């Protein structure tokens, strides 16, 4: 039992690291980042804020909105999303400092593809541990539960809303798009595909290794 709990924790931590790496690789591609993180990335570019800190503030806002949506169904356990966000955004800063900025086309394309793949794989690993979700997933689940709509549909609408808000912030602040681009569209399509691929190949193995499936 202890071995399976340790495995569950390791999968969760590994998923968080891979997710953070994927998000930062997206930023390094300069083709546009994933929808939920695009707001924080846009603001960090415009105002020269630290990206990890801007993301932490955004995650805190999402957690607060989730609290309002859930109302009495909000659990103290859900508050663990805040320390999770602190750790995740510190990984953002770590990978941002370690990885170089790329300027030529081929390395940027490689960063984009790897970023989308790692984001999907990391997200799948985290979700499959059935522990604390990140606030982006948490608020989508809360909206889905409150409205009775399928989580996938809610996720699509929420992503579009994030991209629309990022576009508005960019246009009003700089008169052009900031933080979104073809990479954002690719992420909206590709991340879900990599989640599906990971789950097809490894979900059952992960659940068995962590004691969540007998």
180: left (phi over 0), alpha (psi -120 to 50) or beta: beta
Rounded to two decimals, the pTM is: 0.93
With a pLDDT cut of 90, the percent of the chain lying above it is 84
102: left (phi over 0), alpha (psi -120 to 50) or beta: beta
Backbone φ, ψ for residue 186 (5° rounding): -60, -40
| Domain spans of the chain, in order of start | 2-209
Q: What is the pLDDT of residues 52-109, one digit of tens each?
A: 999 999 999 999 999 999 998 888 888 999 999 999 999 999 999 999 998 899 999 9
Quick one: 168 exposed, middle or buried, by C-beta within 10 A (0-12, 13-18, 19+)?
A: exposed
With a pLDDT cut of 70, the percent of the chain lying above it is 100
Q: Please, what is the average pLDDT of the chain?
A: 94
What local confidence, expressed as pLDDT, does residue 76 receive?
Answer: 85
CA 107/CA 200 separation, integer angstroms:
29
Q: What is the DSSP string of 79-147?
A: GGHHHHHHHHHHHHHHHHHHSPP--SHHHHHHHHHHHHHHHHHHHHHHHHHTSPPPHHHHHHHHHHHHH
Q: What is the pLDDT of residues 150-198, one digit of tens each?
A: 888 898 999 999 999 999 999 999 999 999 999 999 999 999 999 999 9
CA 119/CA 188 separation, integer angstroms:
11
Buried b / exposed e along 94-133 (16+ C-beta atoms within 10 A): ebbeeeeebeeeeebeebbebbbbbbbbbbbbbbbbebbb
CA distances from 146 to 72, 103, 162 (A): 12, 44, 19
């Amino acid at each position: 039992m202890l071995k399976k709990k340790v495995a569950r924790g390791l999968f969760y931590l590994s998923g968080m690291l891979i997710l953070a790496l994927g998000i930062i690789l997206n930023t390094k591609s300069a083709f546009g980042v994933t929808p939920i993180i695009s707001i924080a990335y846009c603001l960090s570019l415009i105002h020269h804020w630290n990206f990890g800190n801007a993301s932490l503030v955004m995650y805190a806002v999402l957690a607060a909105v989730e609290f309002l949506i859930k109302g009495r169904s909000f659990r103290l356990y859900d508050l663990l999303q805040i320390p999770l966000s602190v750790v995740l955004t510190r990984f953002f800063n770590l990978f941002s400092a370690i990885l170089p900025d790329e300027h030529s086309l081929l390395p940027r394309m490689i960063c984009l593809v790897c970023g989308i793949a790692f984001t999907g794989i990391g997200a799948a690993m985290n979700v499959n541990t059935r522990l604390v979700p990140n606030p982006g997933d948490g608020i989508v689940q809360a909206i889905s539960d409150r409205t009775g709509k399928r989580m996938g549909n809610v996720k699509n609408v929420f992503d579009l809303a994030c991209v629309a808000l990022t576009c508005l912030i960019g246009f009003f602040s700089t008169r052009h798009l900031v933080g979104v681009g073809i990479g954002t569209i690719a992420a909206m399509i590709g991340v879900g595909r990599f989640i599906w691929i990971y789950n097809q190949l490894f979900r059952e193995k992960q659940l068995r290794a962590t004691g969540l499936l007998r």
